[in-house]
């Protein structure tokens, strides 16, 4: 008997001949389409010959078949396919007396897509935001069709179904990447990153689109022979934009770059901050007083590298700066002003925790940048935090990647804390056959969370993950 399945559900019907020699079945979608490439594993025992372990996969018709001995006894059949979750995870049966297999009728495996994955090229999602219509906007890069990098913008509905995608690149043999996206007050989108021709220095890039992703304008910023790029952009209260990233003057040091532009991309001012080392900004936000808060890393004012936070006034003039770190490599990747006027910062540390490799590091400061508390999360391997946000309950959500608590390779890692940074729960997302990272997280209007990043089997693919308020994965329909 076949049960009614959800959209994209899979039906696995296992049937057995009474002679006990064949177990066969078919995998289809709820729309009746055959599904190829589902791995089917049979573990069992034969009454005379002992344990049996068989593996096959569905063909183009969605069918599979196991040949088993006549004296076949108990058995378990387990289907698996990357990015699908099966319920039940496996099905068990036993042969009847007289060495005949039990007839298996209506044995259903329902499966739903765990994550939304785009597989059109080598690509990564760096930034995600929920849009005013309840859907999501994702920004990153792709090699679709050219072999060179193009900026990628994907719009989905609330269920993660793609509504449209756009790529941006203006020259042959060019490399164009974006790391930050925000929906603007007119319903369109603003993106920031960098672009350059093969072998040439890069320019900082800002792209403005309409609500359908069509380009309205783009601007590049940079001096001849300098390397410039952006990691973060935000629309400001005057309708313009604040951009943070880096600048590398010709044969000189790497400095933090803070750039203010108008509503149509016109240059207003820029500020650079740094010393004689490698200094870079990854995150910027306009603060309640009209100024800006910037976070990144500095080698110029540290032992190796420290978190670096810079507070400026409305015209970019420095009001204060703070470094946080120890004797190892520490770098901030995300900052947000909190409801009490202070700041929450997240990144990675090799100074604290398991110093043999990096750990998540989260720091809470007051409005003047004085540390109130810090928390380290991680194990004996690589653990990096890339994104943090204050949640509606006053706590914090942190996203990144873990190699300490993964299923075999790097996995995405999501940690929820209370207002004091104490862990409330943590979740790992990924598969033992893939490398998975989350680069951006945001709380959604339903109280859950949306994450984007990359999942890699042989090449990177854009990855979108939706959870409920407790971090439980919500499969996409």
Tell whether 360 and 277 lie within a shared domain.
yes
Three state DSSP letters for the chain = CCCCCCCCCEEEEEEECCCCCEEEEEEEECCCCECCCCEEEEEEEECCCEEEEEEEECCCCCEEEEECCCCEEEEEEEEECCCEEEECCCEEECEECCCEECCCCCCCCEEEECCEEECCCCEEEEEEEECCCCCEEEEEEECCCCCCCEEEEEEECCCCCEEEEEEECCCCCEEEEEEEEEECCCCCEEEEEEEEECCCCCEEEEEEECCCCCEEEEEEECCCCCEEEEEEEEECCCCCEEEEEEEECCCCCEEEEEEEECCCCCEEEEEEECCCCEEEEEEEEECCCCCEEEEEEECCCCCCEEEEEEEECCCCCEEEEEEECCCCEEEEEEEEECCCCCEEEEEEECCCCCCCCCEEEEEEECCCCCEEEEEEECCCCCEEEEEEEECCCCCEEEEEEECCCCCCCCEEEEEEECCCCCEEEEEEECCCCCEEEEEEEEECCCCCEEEEEEEECCCEEEEEEEECCCCCECCEC
Q: What is the CATH number of the domain that holds 291?
A: 2.130.10.10
Give the model confidence (pLDDT) of 140-149 as tens digits: 999 876 678 9
Q: What is the CATH number of the domain that holds 53?
A: 2.60.40
Tell whether 103 and 223 lie within a shared domain.
no
Boundaries of domain holding 30: 10-113
303 within a domain of the structure (yes/no): yes
Tell whether 124 and 14 lie within a shared domain.
no
2 within a domain of the structure (yes/no): no
Tell whether 164 and 309 lie within a shared domain.
yes
Question: What per-residue confidence (pLDDT) applies to 95?
Answer: 60
293 within a domain of the structure (yes/no): yes
Tell whether 324 and 462 lie within a shared domain.
yes
233 within a domain of the structure (yes/no): yes
Among 87, 113, 139, give the residue marking a domain's end.
113
Among 65, 87, 113, give the residue marking a domain's end.
113
Tell whether 243 and 304 lie within a shared domain.
yes
Tell whether 291 and 241 lie within a shared domain.
yes
Nearest alpha-carbon partner for 401 in 369, 358, 340: 358
472 within a domain of the structure (yes/no): no
Question: What per-residue confidence (pLDDT) applies to 9?
Answer: 40
Tell whether 331 and 359 lie within a shared domain.
yes
Any residues with CB less than 8 A from the CB of 378 and at least 6 apart, and which? 353, 354, 357, 358, 359, 360, 402, 404
Residue numbers in the chain where pLDDT is lower than 50: 1-19, 97-106
Q: Kindly report the pTM of this predicted structure.
A: 0.86
Tell whether 67 and 214 lie within a shared domain.
no
Tell whether 26 and 89 lie within a shared domain.
yes
The total domain count for the chain is 2
Q: Would you say 332 and 344 are in contact if contact means Cβ atoms under 8 Å apart? A: no
88 within a domain of the structure (yes/no): yes
Tell whether 249 and 379 lie within a shared domain.
yes
Tell whether 188 and 98 lie within a shared domain.
no
Among 113, 132, 152, give the residue marking a domain's end.
113
475 within a domain of the structure (yes/no): no
345 within a domain of the structure (yes/no): yes
């Amino acid at each position: 008997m076949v049960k009614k399945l959800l959209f994209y559900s899979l039906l696995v019907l296992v049937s057995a001949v009474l002679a006990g020699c064949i177990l066969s079945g078919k995998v289809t979608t709820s729309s009746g389409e055959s599904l190829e490439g589902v791995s089917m594993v049979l573990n069992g025992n034969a009454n005379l010959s002992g344990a049996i372990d068989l593996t096959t996969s569905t063909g183009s018709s969605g069918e599979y078949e196991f040949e088993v001995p006549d004296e076949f006894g108990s058995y378990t059949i387990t289907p698996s396919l990357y990015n699908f979750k099966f319920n039940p995870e496996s099905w068990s049966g036993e042969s009847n007396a007289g060495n005949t297999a039990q007839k298996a009728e209506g044995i259903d495996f329902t499966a739903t897509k765990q994550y939304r994955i785009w597989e059109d090229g080598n690509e990564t999602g760096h930034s995600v935001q929920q849009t005013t219509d309840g859907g999501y906007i994702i920004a990153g890069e792709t090699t679709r069709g050219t072999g060179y990098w193009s900026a990628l913008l994907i719009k989905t509905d609330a269920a993660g179904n793609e509504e449209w995608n756009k790529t941006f690149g203006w020259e042959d043999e060019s490399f164009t990447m974006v790391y930050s996206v925000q929906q603007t007050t007119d319903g369109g989108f603003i993106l920031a990153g960098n672009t350059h021709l093969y072998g040439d220095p890069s320019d900082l890039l800002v792209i403005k689109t309409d609500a359908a992703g069509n380009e309205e304008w783009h601007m590049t910023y940079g001096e001849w022979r300098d390397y410039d790029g952006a990691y973060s952009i935000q629309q400001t209260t005057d309708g313009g934009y604040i951009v943070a990233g880096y600048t590398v003057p010709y044969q000189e040091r790497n400095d933090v770059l803070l750039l203010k532009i108008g509503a149509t991309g016109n240059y207003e001012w820029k500020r650079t901050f740094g010393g004689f080392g490698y200094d870079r900004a990854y995150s910027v936000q306009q603060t309640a007083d009209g100024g800006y808060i910037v976070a990144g890393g500095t080698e110029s004012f540290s032992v190796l590298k420290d978190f670096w936070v810079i507070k400026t006034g409305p015209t970019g003039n420095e009001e204060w700066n703070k470094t946080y770190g120890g004797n190892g490599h520490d770098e901030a990747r995300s900052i947000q002003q909190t409801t009490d006027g202070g700041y929450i910062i997240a990144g990675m540390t090799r100074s604290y925790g398991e110093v043999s490799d990096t750990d998540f590091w989260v720091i809470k400061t007051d409005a003047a940048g004085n540390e109130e508390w810090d928390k380290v999360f991680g194990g004996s391997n690589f653990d990096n935090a890339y994104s943090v946000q204050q949640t509606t309950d006053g706590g914090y959500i942190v996203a990144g990647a873990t190699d300490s608590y993964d299923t075999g390779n790097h996995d995405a890692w999501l940690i929820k804390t209370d207002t004091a940074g104490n862990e409330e729960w943590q979740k790992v997302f990924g598969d033992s056959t893939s490398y998975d990272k989350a680069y951006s997280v945001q709380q959604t209007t339903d109280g859950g969370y949306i994450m984007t990043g990359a999942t890699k089997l042989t090449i990177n693919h854009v990855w979108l993950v939706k959870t409920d308020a407790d971090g439980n994965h919500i499969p996409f329909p």
